[in-house]
Amino acid sequence: MNRRHFLSAAATTLAAPFVRGQSKTAPEFHGAIIGQGGFRYRVDKLWSQADPAKTPVKDCHEMVQSSDGRLFLLTNHKQNNVLIYDVKGAVLGTWTQGLAGAHGLTLHRQADGKEFLYLTDSSSGRVMKTTLEGELVLELPKAHECGAYSPNDLYSPTETAVAPNGDIYVADGYGSQFILRFNQDGKFISKFGGKSTQPVNPGKFMQAHGVAIDTRGERPLLVVTERIRNEFSWFTLEGKHVRSVYLPGAYVSRPVIHGRELYSGVCFGAKPNDYRMWQGRGFVTILSDQDRVISNPGGQSPDFEDGHLKVMLQGQPVFNNCHDVCVDTQSDLYVCQWNSGHVYPYKLHREG
């Protein structure tokens, strides 16, 4: 496969948004078994008990689980940025910071055991640390305010990750494509990356959409989504490129590390013949700690030829645009979707 096809294809094609209707009585694929190998799941499209009249959502961007088992869903609906669920789908509460572009949600447990949320608003450039109840604790300076960018540089952050020492990494995924590093008090330390126009350019990005701390190895690494190039890239915490993993056909969202595996929502699929981005064709992908795709719930089974992963495509239209996946303590999944008819998250019950 020629990876250089992706650059021109992504630049010329963004298909019109695809939205599939959802019935509350016997929706399509409700109860279906999806995924492969030991990572198979039963689809529960009716998991959420939220009342759209009381707690509407626009896009369900991301979800995390706190240590007490509660699930926190981030939406860009200004009335309720955060919906709080139990694992059975009951809504326990809501709160908002009035963010119209709420995009990234990260949960960090500090050394003292206290847990906090980091919210990223891509439209306003705000990156906020809050309590689980929504109280603002810290707001990071914007890139041009702390000397990271010049006044005219575009800043539109999409995600955060917090290192074991408390340093905060901000992915400017819709802006100038840098990863910005702050200390735990919000002081700017450094940046790395920057915008690339090349299909292969390790250390620079076409769309650094998500970040996470990967502690599965001998030392913590920062893993960064490169959505347009269909890959994840690992860096030292100082910003030195370590390795990249190419996932042909998968326009991935943020990496989620759980146990020994990496999970990600594939927001957009690819057209089978020319690899162009294809909205409405998302699925979930799961990688082992050896960086090998082992299951694609909602997608075709991963196929390899001469040791190389072949193009991955949606297998069943269970999902539209998978923006995030949350893994709970029972290894069940919750899939959040962007631009998918205001649907609430689907739950995937682990079967294998």
Complete domains list, the chain, with CATH: 5-350 (2.120.10.30)
Q: Looking at per-residue confidence, does 92 or 10 come out higher?
A: 92
One-letter-per-residue 3-state SS of 74-135: EECCCCCCEEEECCCCCEEEEECCCCCCEEEEEEEECCCCCEEEEEEECCCCEEEEECCCCC
Residue 12 has pLDDT above 60, yes or no: no
Mean pLDDT of the chain: 93
N- to C-terminal Cα separation, the chain: 32
The predicted structure's pLDDT at residue 10: 45
Tell me the pLDDT tens digit for each residue of 15-42.
333 333 444 577 999 999 999 999 999 9
Report the predicted TM-score, pTM, of the whole model to 2 decimal places: 0.93
Q: Which two tokens stand for residue 218?
A: 């001998």
pLDDT tens readout for residues 131-153: 999 999 999 999 999 999 999 99
Helix (H) or strand (E) segment spanning residue 7: helix 5-12
Residue 235 has pLDDT above 90, yes or no: yes
